[in-house]
Chains A and B, each alone.
Chain A
Amino acid sequence: DAGVIQSPRHEVTEMGQEVTLRCKPISGHDYLFWYRQTMMRGLELLIYFNNNVPIDDSGMPEDRFSAKMPNASFSTLKIQPSEPRDSAVYFCASSLSSQKGQFFGPGTRLTVL
């Protein structure tokens, strides 16, 4: 059974460019989470979805960030325009409401030059 899949694993881009991160949750899971990890701020929840509907986006840092979940097997996190301070590891996780433990993907390491 495949775990949470994220792509790309590494992304290097220049300031001002659009960045799109992708996530495929574990099949059957009805919750999906996007996190960001930095040395300064640790692990922060950005947004989470239930049954493809955004429930809480209070952690999204600013309007440059947006997330979508068009279907149960795919989600994107977009940054437009990107800035150097967005450099971080972005994790996607999924969960089953009846069990509640979250399972993380391998992360995308984003570097904005």
Chain B
Amino acid sequence: GIQVEQSPPDLILQEGANSTLRCNFSDSVNNLQWFHQNPWGQLINLFYIPSGTKQNGRLSATTVATERYSLLYISSSQTTDSGVYFCAVGTGGFKTIFGAGTRLFVKA
């Protein structure tokens, strides 16, 4: 089956810093999502982005489907950005495979 690799596995930032999270996948996908799981366990959908670039406030994402990767950019990080960021991909229909996540801690 398709493999999803996220990097880095852990990241510590000072408040105000910028960061880039990466998601590599081993096969062609027809959907890709980024999620944030906050420290209370809630999973929040950030982007549905099978290709191209999207922006939402301080967050933006880019997927280059032909090269099998996606990037999530966080600018001017805040302590509330802490948590785990997941990339999830689908190869057919709505079957979804999650990566292991990037754990982010933003220090005040």
Q: Smallest CB-CB separation from B40: which chain A residue?
A: A106
Which residue of chain A lies nearest to B96 when distances are taken between CB atoms in the complex? A45
A95 touches B94 (CB 8 A): yes
Closest A residue to B43 by CB, please name it.
A104
Q: Which residue of A lies closest to B30 (CB)?
A: A100
Known A42-B100, A100-B48, A102-B33; contact A50-B43, beta-carbon cutoff 8 A: no
Main secondary structure of the interface of B (DSSP, over half): strand
A107: Cβ under 8 A from any B Cβ: yes
* Closest CB in chain B relative to A90 CB, distance in Å: 12
Chain B's nearest CB lies how many Å from the CB of A58?
8
A33 touches B94 (CB 8 A): yes
Nearest A residue to B41 by beta-carbon distance?
A: A107
Q: Is the CB of A43 within 8 A of B86?
A: yes
- Give B63-103 interface residues, CB cut-off 8 Å to A: 86, 88, 93-101
Are B95 and A102 in contact (CB-based, < 8 A)? no
Contacts of B33 in A (CB 8 A): 100-102
Q: Is the interface of A mostly helix, strand, loop or mixed?
A: strand
Q: Of the candidates B35, B42, B94, B98, which one forms a contact with A42 in the assembled complex, judged by CB atoms under 8 Å apart?
A: B98
Q: Which parts of A70-113 form the interface with B (CB within 8 Å)? A: 89, 91, 93, 95, 99-104, 106-107
Return chain A residues, CB-CB under 8 Å to B94: 31, 33, 48, 50, 55, 95, 100
Whether, in the assembled complex, B31 has its beta carbon less than 8 Å from a beta carbon of chain A, the answer is yes
- Report if A18 contacts B (CB, 8 A): no
Structural contact, A43 and B31, CB atoms closer than 8 A? no
Is the Cβ of B96 less than 8 Å from the Cβ of A100?
no
* Partner among B44, B48, B93, B99 whose Cβ is within 8 Å of the Cβ of A56: B93
Residues of chain A whose beta carbon lies under 8 Å from any beta carbon of chain B = 31, 33, 42-45, 48, 50, 55-56, 58, 89, 91, 93, 95, 99-104, 106-107
> Can you list 6 A-B pairs, Cβ within 8 angstroms, ordered by A?
A55-B94, A89-B41, A91-B43, A102-B45, A102-B88, A104-B44
